[in-house]
């Protein structure tokens, strides 16, 4: 099998698995940090690839967010389920969750 055929087969398998390629533009400092993170976080198993590391970051951030969302409950002002609540219609009122507490979900 030629390299072209292998690559075509690899792309078809990725598509079948629902894998999407995402490009990220990084400056020199960010790239250096990513490389260091991959090396150090990989530990004795060896460095992560950039793809592996970014996938793990997404997975861990998603898990953390699920925990935060499970603790939200309802807004003390409008009594609507959070994080949607009043969708910010009452933002500015000190009792509205969107005024201050919504920032807890930001990075």
pLDDT tens figures, 74-85: 888 888 888 988
Residues 62 and 82 in one domain: no
pLDDT above 90 for 37: yes
What is the tally of structural domains in the chain?
Answer: 2
pLDDT digits (tens, 9 = 90+) for 52-68: 999 999 999 999 999 99
pLDDT above 90 for 46: yes
Residues 44 and 58 in one domain: yes
- Tell me, letter by letter, the H, E, C secondary structure of the chain: CCHHHHHHHHHHHHHHCCCCCCCCCCCHHHHHHHHHHHHHHHHHHCCCCHHHHHHHHHHHHHHHHHHHHHHHCECCCCCCECCCCCCCCCECECCCCCCCHHHHHCC
Domain that holds residue 94: 73-107
Residue 20 within a domain: no
Residue 12 within a domain: no
Residue 44 within a domain: yes
Look up the pTM and report it: 0.75
pLDDT above 90 for 30: yes
pLDDT above 90 for 35: yes
């Amino acid at each position: 099998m030629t390299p072209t055929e292998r690559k075509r087969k690899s792309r078809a398998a990725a598509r079948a698995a629902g894998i999407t390629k995402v490009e990220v533009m990084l400056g020199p400092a960010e790239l250096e940090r990513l490389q260091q993170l991959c090396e150090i976080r990989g530990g004795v198993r060896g460095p992560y690839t950039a793809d592996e590391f970014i996938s793990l970051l997404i997975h861990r951030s998603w898990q953390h967010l699920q925990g935060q969302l499970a603790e939200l409950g309802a807004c003390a002002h409008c009594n609507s389920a959070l994080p949607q609540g009043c969708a910010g219609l009452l933002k500015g009122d000190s009792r509205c969750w969107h005024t201050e507490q919504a920032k807890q979900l930001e990075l």
